[in-house]
Structure 1
Amino acid sequence: IPSTLINPFRKISYKEERKTLKFFISVETNEILSYAKKGSDTDIDVKVSNDEIIITAKALKIDYTEQKVDKDSISLNYINSNVKSILRSISDKINYNLIIGEDVPDATVTIKQDNIHWKDAIKLIRDESNVQISIDEKSKTLLVRKNEFMKFAAPKEGDLVSFEFQDADLSSVIFLLSEISGYNIVLHPDVKDLKYKVNINIKKIPWQKALEKVVKIFALEFTVDEADKLILIAPVETINKIEMTRQALRETRIKRYKAESELYTERAKVAKERLQALMSEQKITKIIKLKYLSTFDAIKHITQLNIFKGVRSTLKEATQGVAKQEAMELKITDEAITAEVGISSINSINAIVMRHVPAIVEEVERFLASIDIPSQTTQQVLIEARVVEVSNSSALELGVQWGVSGWGVTKDGGILSYGGTRSARDTQSASDYVSTPYSQVGIGQATQGTMGATNIMPLIINMPAAVAQGAGGSFGIGYINRAASMMLDFRLSALERAGKGKILSQPKLMTLNNSPSLIRHGARVPITTPGSTQGTYTTTYIDAALLMKVTPSIVFGTKENIIYLDLEISKDEPATSSERKDILGNPQIDSRAANTRIALKDGETVVIAGIRKETVSEGESSIPYLSKIPVLGSLFKKEDKTGNTEELMIFVTPKIVQPFKQD
């Protein structure tokens, strides 16, 4: 065994075949490495004597059994070797064909591997070199190309290719030629005996020539379709039949073309005579009155239907199959005819004016008579809309006023008073209180000072309801003791209001079927905005009006008609005085609108929109803490409650108006 075999720095198995030996010896060097790391004094003695090798090592286990070798495994031991040479050696060992592209570089690699699967060896070579290696197991072929290309580009005519096949069948060879050429290759069903083997070694010839040589080996032929990049391979007899069929089709096309040319020539001759006769015919001018059809629609229909097609088709037929100069003359003739004919409209009498030869004028007149009749387009629809606004308001107020006042004379002649806003600091005498008539004591605005003949009693609680003449009511009660030293007055006031309102707007509009229409009623409100210069103003106007815009579309049915409405209804108006929030003197505009598309039966009414707005507010004015006393708390507070309800509903009713009757 060479000294390189037992290498303590390699962790792989080695095997060495000696010509003088009859068997393989395998040594696991990782076991030797374990001794080397320990630095032991292990003695290793190798002796070769005739038919045996003796290896002596302490504690070293050596397997002397013959190693089994996998049939797909190979050994690589190459140093700076050519990749192409390595691949040829591998293809020979595995019995595969080898094709190497002309652009594959002459790369070199260094590879040392034992007992490795040949596919893994191919991958290793591919990774170590700048080549791309494809394995076709069906044809048992290795295809070698430059690494940057995954497929061969299709060679041009004259490009040279080289390849080699050994014991390959036709299908495998055809597959590789398709890869090289970039063409799709189809084998005809008549192609048989594809299992025959062939050996080919071609160097630097065009791929077309290579294909020709391959198919001739199998007594075949091929045809090329350049447009579809397709090659058909078939037996010679089949190719001959295909060519004969193609030739027959070509001859048929030629005969048909000649027949069509003769027909066009004959038509051109007849058309030329017709066109010349048309030129010589006298033109007439005629006014055609319309009953239901507008002049705009009539001219549009005539233009769309190309009512002058008689002249145009005659010209087209006349210019086919004639010489170029003659065709130009016919075109000039057509332009001359067109210049002398035309259509115009007279909207005041709903008529069109037609100028042409009598035959064309009569054709136009018949055409207009067939479409100038009452139809769905002249059907009319009456749309009735009702905008209903209902408002309800209510208010409830409950208030209380009461006061107490008293006085007395102290021992030292002073005055002690209580109640309301009066106090001992008032400059009053006892006689002032005593002399106050009973009839003048009552609830009202209390003021400090001498009561006098017109003064009233001061209030402790003054929370009345907003009663006034003709609105609300009140009830009062008073008490004065005999000595007139104490007075008590109490008044209860209440107010309840309710209001109802209803506003009805009812626009009506009649329009033609499929025609948009609009109705507006209201005012234009001025809006003032400051100008760019100080002290100047700009006034613009905005619409505050009731507007209805509608487009009806009738679908006539067997039992009942359906009307589709594209409907837009809006009502804009300045807000009421109680709700207005003017800005810079400009009024607030309230807007209500609905925009929808609906389907209804003739005469059916439907609500297309509805808005309900309800506002409820409750208020309370009270004396803190005292108003919370059960039962007696009502003497120290005022309560009010208001409510407002607004409701908007929009109703629509379409009706089909009976159509016009023909005279």
Structure 2
Amino acid sequence: MMVNTVNKNIQAGKLTYSALAKMAGIVIGLWMLAFNALAADAKLMASSFVALPDNKLEVRFDFDVPPTLPKSYMTNSPARLVLDMWGVENTLDTRLLSVESGNVDKINFAQVAGRLRVVVDLFEPSAFETRTDGNSLFLTVGDRGMAKQEVAKVSKAVAADSAARPVVSDKTRINGVDFERTPEGAGRVVISLSDDHAGVDVIEEGNNVVVNLLGVDLSVSMQNRIDVQDFATPVMFIDSMASGENVSILIKPSSEPYDYMVYQTNNQLVVDLKPVTQAQLDKIEQERFPYQGERIDLDFQNVEVRSVLQILAEVAEMNLVVSDNVGGNITLRLKNVPWDQALDLILTTNKLDKREMGNVLLIGTAEEIKEREKIELESSKSVEELAPLRTEFIQVDFRKASDMVSRLNEAKLVSERGFLLADDETNVLMVRETGKRIEEIRATLRRFDTEVAQVLIEARLVTANTTVSKDLGVKWGLGYGDTDSSGNAISIGSSISGVSSPGSVPSGLMVDLGAGVTSPASVAIGLASNTGLLQLELSALETDGKIEVISQPKIMTTNGKAAMIESGKEIPYQTVEDGDVSVAFKDVVLSLEVTPRINPGDRIAMDLVIHKDSIGEQLDNGDISIIKNALETSVVVPDGQTIVLGGVFENETSDVVNKTPLLGDIPVLGALFRNKSKSNTKTELLIFITPKLVRESLSAQ
């Protein structure tokens, strides 16, 4: 809507007042930065400066808690010193501190993305120093040209000694430009520097992010393009280019929307490009520029403020009430500006304020509106103190009544005159309060007293055991029995008992190295005569076994509540203490402990503890060993999907040879004096988890 014609009816002629427009832009920009400031851990309470000898300047920043040293860097053109104070909130009334002393022109304070950025405008680049003392941070800035004088001294010293050693440049160098993908899917460009003194200037040119490094060396081999399209991040290419004494790192993003952040840690400068949705991008733009009104043009010279307010009310199609204390004239020229932004500019310039009540716009001086609201608040308190109390009973459906009492008291919804009483048997709240507070309590209960979502967690523990073994052995024996010419018995055998019976042939095994399993496959040969006995048995065994055990515990719980299920047995064992024998028990259990939390998008975060025990071997003292498998982790899983939490794989191989010393090592014949056994056992444990949301419809069914 164009309103230039209104100007002709009010006053002839036009005057461009660019200074006022610039000042208004600065005011609005600072207001937006303050509006977007995040909650901080420390607060900047005061700032001051004092001149020091040798034309130095010391700036003092006072905080509510002891501060940490900020990240800092300096730019040469323009000469600026930048201090980034992370987690600090600016509570100063002004965003600009005019200094004009020493080498410092002015200091700007800007609240950006979770940090307070302090920009010190210098007349020339110079040395600086930061230190902390108690709750204060001190910044000392050197004299004009100090940095140049120090460089000159270094150059002179190098030149004097150039005959003895080569000249080494003291400029900051880029040691590497690397890229990585963060777990959140952001593209991270890491610029490694030789020191942390480089001047940094990051700007947006079109759709590109350009990192300008001032007074920095970049080798020819590093002046190239890095293609990172395959990493699936907002970054496509990284171009490194040198221009004179400066270096530019151009980051070319994809066409998808993104947000970027720059920070420096010691000698590393990091640029993160994070993907954002279109909705998030719109929200960011709206926060940066919150005005959504119809755009208009205003071009007035020395016109009454009340007349301009009337025009804006007509554009906004709102009723207007202006206080008698609003007066004076204003000159402004605004092109294509939202009407609500124009209104804020006029109000800020004339120390006015506004309140919106439905379709009515109330405008008055800031002090007048503040005093009026103070009177209304005091009146409201007086009315509440005199309002009659009444008693009501409120049924709580899904939560515990006593828990709701704690929540309501924490919210300070109960006055000193009223009280709350809970009956958990009937789950009813008794409320004694004014009518207004009872309605507030009912509204709060409606938000808290909702059905809690439930989650069914199913775990599967699969144990697979595969065993392959081979056993090959031999048994044989030799006996001889006879009498000599004198009638004496001669016996040869493997058993002492066999040689004590005159006239008999001893029996028994000389080598007993058969397959070490009951009833193996075997072949036996026996040769006997009146005076001799030969026994031979060959045995072999091969086994192949597979065992699979599936344990599947399930448990259901509500959102945010811990739950546990356990199944198993207790194994008794004896203990001896001071000569007294007693029986104790060991638990052999399968247990599942879980605390689920339902996140947006039906994604379920879980804190899990899983135990699977089994009975092991019996020890020499008669005790039973326990084989334990445990897992403790935190995961996020979409509703109804199954993931593998972890697993354990064991592979046990054995190769055992039992033999008669020396005889078992004889080639070929040594096989009669040895036994071979080979086995291979593989055990694998896999743990799966599947969370499922229990919907209301399923509950009803």
Q: State the TM-score, normalized to the length of structure 1.
A: 0.45
Structure with the higher strand share, 1 or 2: 2
Larger radius of gyration: 1
Structure with the higher helix share, 1 or 2: 1
